[in-house]
Amino acid sequence: MTKVPRTVGLRTWLTAAVLLMFVLGILATLHWGGYLLISNDVLPSHADGAIILQASVISEEARIAGAVRLLQRGVVDHIILSIPKTGYWDLSFPSLARTYLEKHYGHDIASQFQFCETVNVDSTEQEAMAMMPCVQQRHWRSLIVVTSNFHSRRAGLIWRRTWKHVQPPVQMWVDGVDDPSFQPASWWRHRRYAKTWFFESSKLLWALIAR
């Protein structure tokens, strides 16, 4: 009987172990991967205000609705909406935003919104820096960052890192609202959710590496 060399048997076991770990890693990612993007803070009973981060149209609507809920519950008294100053054809975003808010939420709610006009913002870090003067001039000492569920972990990481040396210090919480662009459970079964997961995961990884 031909005896199998010990090194060959060991190599076979190692290969099998690596393959098993790879398969388990894929299964774990499919099952829990969507939740890795989400990190919501336990919100305070009251904060000076909420900030809504810029997003696509569908995500922006979800974020605005989430911030309005905080306002209606009395958790915040004011909301700052991050918006570009102008868009295509020199349209004024503040006036468009005001019209949208009054149409969907009424004058009383819309009157609690303030706008922070940002220029050339192309990342979460740039937005965090651009909105700093808007918060400081209102003398807020506590704020809730309202964003989408899939963006909550990365937003919290970047905003806290960017603001950690702000004086006077500002207490901060992140509220990740449900977003039609992403559902953490079975995210791989839907093209939109999967696309959101891959893009956001790569950005989160880069944010962690860049620390």
- State the pLDDT at residue 153: 96
Instruction: Report the sign of the C-alpha dihedral through residues 178, 98, 132, 77, in that order.
Output: negative
Per-residue CA distances from 89 to 94, 115, 120, 124 (Å): 14, 20, 17, 25
Q: What is the pLDDT of residues 144-166, one digit of tens each?
A: 999 999 999 999 999 999 999 99
Give the Cβ contact number of residue 103 at 10 Å. Answer: 9
What is the reported pTM?
Answer: 0.85
CB-count exposure of residue 137 (10 Å: 0-12, 13-18, 19+): exposed
Q: What is the pLDDT of residues 58-95, one digit of tens each?
A: 999 999 999 999 999 999 999 999 988 766 666 778 88
Confidence of residue 118 (pLDDT cuts 50, 70, 90): confident
What is the per-residue burial (b if ≥16 Cβ within 10 Å, else e) of 27-45? eeeeeeebebbbeeeebee
- State the pLDDT at residue 128: 95
